[in-house]
Structure formats: structure tokens, C-alpha cells
């Protein structure tokens, strides 16, 4: 039992969470740089100012990836590092960094998968209205064109946006992520619509600028409802719950994905939002519905169908004693079977697990190693479910573990450790955890080590 030879074994990270060097070599300010200065918003006042200093240590980091035998590395580019004001002037030194990184990855046999936007939004554009300004779609497409013109002779996999549900929801509704504001429901939906337009225009820009055939996707949160059992009725119920929108919330799949794949907002969502639905101009939905090559799915936890019907806000419905990670997320491996199955059935594209992972309270033991058996167990359980999807002929291109290394976990600061590589936050020393060594075996055996 194993995964196909072509399966992409990967790991992921994002610019603001690992790079540091936030004011070096001409980088512009991002909303996360500003947000981190606000008292009380980040655990213990941490910031991404230094993060893992990956900007200076990328060679060492790529060497660790190569040691694990990674086939793919999902990275994101910091928009203000490339365009300090977000639009107009290009910062060549910023682009040079990504070029060096890409070259180093390719020389190590690792395919770069690039996300254009993983939340570090240019502050200058935020001051011009940010996602509330419809021009954001043009700004984003221009930035996409700059990046793709420079890197697409070497890079063949692109993703537009990481988790719009989170940067709009937590950044603009809850105020717990940058830019830390609380919009009205009506404004939120306008910002979300512009986000979708930005996605569509960026896909067009990527295809127009690409110097070789490339695969384009996005990486939304894939929210999966797991059936209670496997009777046709139970499966149908879980599918319905995965794609329904009874509540007026952006924490859904379909409000984001139906416009992208079907060129329309879901009827139940339109009904739920009522008068808050944004103005949609004639061409908008055609712009948003650009052909994509894969469905990227970030997924960490799911709901159980029956408990979802019962669950109240602030309670995810899992019973007492259900396994939980260090950040209290329920452990629900079945998402990696049902997610690919439901999303492939509905949207028809090959699936890539663009993020999945676990935070544990890891530390360096007396013997100098980092023992993280729970992470190994977590990944193995998830890979088993993913393998079931693969064996049922659901096309799954790859799996990107989040994260390659411990990093700045947004409002949680450095409290949460998701890495295969342990990073000492003070010395920045890197050390492969047991799970990193184990992942090397998984990759070398096309997954057998995790399945047997
Ligand atoms: C996802 C984010 C990623 C990381 C993981 C733990 O929501 O995309 O940056 O924070 O969660």
C-alpha cells in the first residue's frame, strides 16, 4: 500500500510567519507589521519582526527540506517586499530574495509552490481602503503580473489567496488579526466580493504573464462535515451540511467557492445575507470564475454531522475527551477523506492538501532530540484517510504539511509549534524533530511507513 510515485510530498510556510527582516532591503510596511505593534493583540507581545530569520537563513532551511526529501515547498511572497507601496514601484532587492530561494529549492530537487498572498497586506494600500476599495483587484493583479513575469520561467505552481475566510473574518470582522478592524456585515461582504474579484483578475494576470504552462489554484479553508456513518443517507446529510449556508456568516465554503467555480453566489447564502449582499456588476462573476487547475484545501479540523446540528457558538460539538491538539483543535483525520471526496465531487478538480498539521508543546529533551510522537500519530492518521481517497480514484496531487518549521502563529505568537523542524526562538537554532525524521521515511517509501 502506498501513494502514487508522482504524489507531491510537501511542507508549507508563509512569508510573515518565517522571514523576519521586515524592514530590510527596501521592504515596505505590511498591515501585520503595524498590527503587531498594537498592545495586547498578540500573545505576550510577540511580533514577526525576526520570526525564524528565514530571510537570512533560507539556505540552511532548504538544506533541511532536502534532508527530508521534500518534493514540494509551499511558500508565500510578501507583497510589500516586492512592491513597497503595494502598487507602482518594484523593489528589485525583494524580488532577488525570492529568486535566490526558488533557485536554491530547484537545485535541491524541491518544486516551489507559490502563494501570492498569505495575509501580509501592504499598509500603504490599507490606507487607501484596502479590501474595501474595489481597485484592490487591479492592484493585486498588477502585483501578480510582476511576480509571475520574474519567476515563471522556473515556477509552475501558483496559488492566489490563502484562506480568505480567515483574513476577512478574523482581520476585518473579529479584529483579532491584521488589520484588526470590525466592519459592518455589509462592508464585510463588499470586502469579500473584492477579494473574489482580486482572485479572478490575478488568475488572468498569472496566465497572461506565465512563461510556461503552469497550474493555478487557490487555498481556501476547506470546512468539512464528517458523516456519522457511511449509509447513503448519512453521507448525503454530511455533504449537504458541508455546502449549506443557513447562517449569515462568511465562515463557509460556498460563499467563496461557488463564485469561483460556478460563477454565482449560492442561493441560500444570498437569502441568509439578505440586504447586506454587495453590489455585483455585470462582468464581475465572469471575472471571478476563471478556470483553475487544482483545488487547494487547507484543513485542520472538521465537524461531525450530528454534533454540528447541535453545536452552539464557542463549542465545536465534539464530546468531552475527544482528542485535541495543543491549541485545542479537535483531531479529526476523516476530513482528509471526506474533504477531497466532497470538494472533488462538487467542483470537479484535482485536490491538493495545501495545509494540514498539528501544534504540540514540543521541547528539546535531555538527549538533545525533539520527541513529538503525537505529531507522527496525527500525520499518519490523516495520511491513512487521504490514502483512502486516493485508492477510490479521487485525484489528489499532494500533501503539504503545515509547517516546515515552528514559526510566528499570528495572534498566538510563538506559543504554537506546528513545525517538523524545531526552532529555538532565542537562538534561532534549527533541529529536525522526530516527526521530521519520520516524514523523511514516509516520503522515501511513498507513504508506506505511515500506512502500515
Ligand atoms: C492556517 C494558516 C497558517 C497557519 C495555520 C496553523 O489557518 O493559513 O498560516 O497559521 O493555520
Residue 210 lies in a domain: yes
- Residues touching ligand 1 (Cβ under 6 Å) are 14, 17, 162-163, 166, 298, 355, 402, 409-410, 418
CA distance 202 to 119: 16
Instruction: Band the pLDDT of 429: cuts 50, 70, 90.
Output: very high
Residue 2 lies in a domain: no
Total domains in the chain come to: 1
For 350, the domain range is 8-451
CA distance 440 to 445: 9
pLDDT of residue 314: 66
Catalytic positions are 163, 355
pLDDT above 70: residue 400: yes
Cα(228) to ligand 1 centroid in Å equals: 27
Number of H helices, E strands in the chain: 18, 12
Torsion of CA 90, 92, 98, 104, to 10 degrees: 160
pLDDT above 80: residue 310: no
Query: Per residue in 373-399, pLDDT tens?
Result: 999 999 999 999 999 999 999 999 999
| Buried-exposed string 338-370: b where 16+ CB fall within 10 A, e elsewhere | bbbbbbbebbebbbbbbbbbbbbebeeeeeeeb
CA distance 55 to 49: 11
Residue 3 lies in a domain: no
Domain CATH code at residue 59: 3.20.20.80
Residue 243 lies in a domain: yes
Query: Per residue in 311-329, pLDDT tens?
Result: 666 678 898 899 999 999 9
Cα(408) to ligand 1 centroid in Å equals: 10
Residue 72 lies in a domain: yes
For the CA of 359, the closest atom of ligand 1 is: 6
Residue 145 lies in a domain: yes
- Quick check: 218 and 154 in contact, CB under 8 A? no
Residue 161 lies in a domain: yes
Residue 1 lies in a domain: no
Query: Per residue in 249-264, pLDDT tens?
Result: 999 999 999 999 999 9
Instruction: Band the pLDDT of 16: cuts 50, 70, 90.
Output: very high
Q: Which three cell numbers stand for residue 231?
A: 449509509
SS3 (DSSP) at 350: coil
The pick from 298, 378, 402, 411 for probing ligand 1's pocket by mutation, whose C-beta has the most ligand atoms within 8 angstroms, reads 402
pLDDT above 80: residue 341: yes
SS3 (DSSP) at 228: coil
Query: Per residue in 62-100, pLDDT tens?
Result: 999 999 999 999 999 999 999 999 999 999 999 999 999
pLDDT of residue 41: 98
Cα(45) to ligand 1 centroid in Å equals: 19
Amino acid at each position: 500500500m502506498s501513494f502514487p510515485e508522482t504524489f507531491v510530498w510537501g511542507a508549507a510556510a508563509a512569508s510573515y510567519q518565517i522571514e523576519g527582516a521586515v524592514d530590510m532591503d527596501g521592504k515596505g510596511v505590511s498591515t501585520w507589521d503595524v498590527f503587531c505593534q498594537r498592545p495586547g493583540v498578540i500573545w505576550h507581545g510577540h511580533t514577526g519582526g525576526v520570526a525564524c530569520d528565514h530571510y537570512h537563513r533560507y539556505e540552511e532551511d532548504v538544506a533541511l527540506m532536502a534532508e527530508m526529501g521534500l518534493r514540494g515547498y509551499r511558500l508565500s511572497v510578501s507583497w510589500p517586499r516586492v512592491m513597497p507601496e503595494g502598487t507602482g514601484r518594484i523593489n528589485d532587492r525583494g524580488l532577488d530574495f525570492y529568486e535566490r530561494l526558488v533557485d536554491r529549492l530547484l537545485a535541491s530537487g524541491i518544486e516551489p509552490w507559490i502563494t501570492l498572498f498569505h495575509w501580509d497586506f501592504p499598509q500603504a494600500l490599507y490606507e487607501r481602503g484596502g479590501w474595501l476599495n474595489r481597485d484592490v483587484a487591479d492592484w493585486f493583479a498588477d502585483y501578480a503580473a510582476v511576480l509571475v513575469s520574474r519567476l515563471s520561467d522556473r515556477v509552475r505552481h501558483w496559488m492566489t489567496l490563502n484562506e480568505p475566510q480567515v483574513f476577512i473574518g478574523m482581520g476585518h470582522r473579529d479584529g483579532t488579526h491584521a488589520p484588526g478592524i470590525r466592519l459592518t456585515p455589509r462592508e464585510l461582504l463588499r470586502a469579500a466580493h473584492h477579494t473574489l474579484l482580486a482572485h479572478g483578475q490575478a488568475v488572468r494576470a498569472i496566465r497572461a504573464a506565465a512563461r510556461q504552462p503552469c497550474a493555478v489554484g487557490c487555498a481556501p479553508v476547506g470546512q468539512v462535515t464528517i458523516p456519522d456513518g457511511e449509509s447513503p443517507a448519512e453521507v448525503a446529510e454530511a455533504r449537504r451540511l458541508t455546502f449549506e449556508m443557513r447562517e449569515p456568516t462568511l465562515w463557509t465554503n460556498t460563499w467563496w467557492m461557488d463564485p469561483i467555480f460556478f460563477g454565482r453566489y449560492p442561493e441560500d447564502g444570498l437569502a441568509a445575507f439578505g440586504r447586506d449582499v454587495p453590489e455585483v456588476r455585470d462582468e464581475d462573476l465572469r471575472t471571478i470564475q476563471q478556470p483553475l487547475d487544482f483545488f487547494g484545501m487547507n484543513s485542520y479540523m472538521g465537524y461531525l454531522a450530528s454534533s454540528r446540528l447541535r453545536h452552539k457558538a464557542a463549542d465545536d460539538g465534539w464530546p468531552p475527551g475527544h482528542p485535541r491538539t495543543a491549541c485545542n483543535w479537535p483531531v479529526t483525520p476523516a476530513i482528509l477523506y471526506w474533504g477531497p471526496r466532497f470538494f472533488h465531487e462538487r467542483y470537479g478538480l484535482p485536490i491538493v492538501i495545501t495545509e494540514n498539521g498539528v501544534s504540540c508543546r514540543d521541547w528539546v529533551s535531555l538527549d538533545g532530540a525533539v520527541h513529538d510522537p503525537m505529531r507522527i500519530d496525527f500525520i499518519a492518521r490523516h495520511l491513512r484517510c487521504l490514502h483512502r481517497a486516493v485508492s477510490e480514484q479521487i485525484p489528489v496531487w499532494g500533501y503539504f504539511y503545515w509547517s516546515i518549521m515552528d514559526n510566528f502563529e499570528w495572534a498566538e505568537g510563538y506559543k504554537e509549534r506546528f513545525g517538523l523542524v524545531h526552532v529555538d526562538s532565542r537562538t534561532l537554532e534549527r533541529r529536525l524533530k522526530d516527526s521530521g525524521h519520520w516524514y523523511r521515511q514516509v516520503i522515501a517509501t511513498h507513504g508506506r511507513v505511515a500506512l502500515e
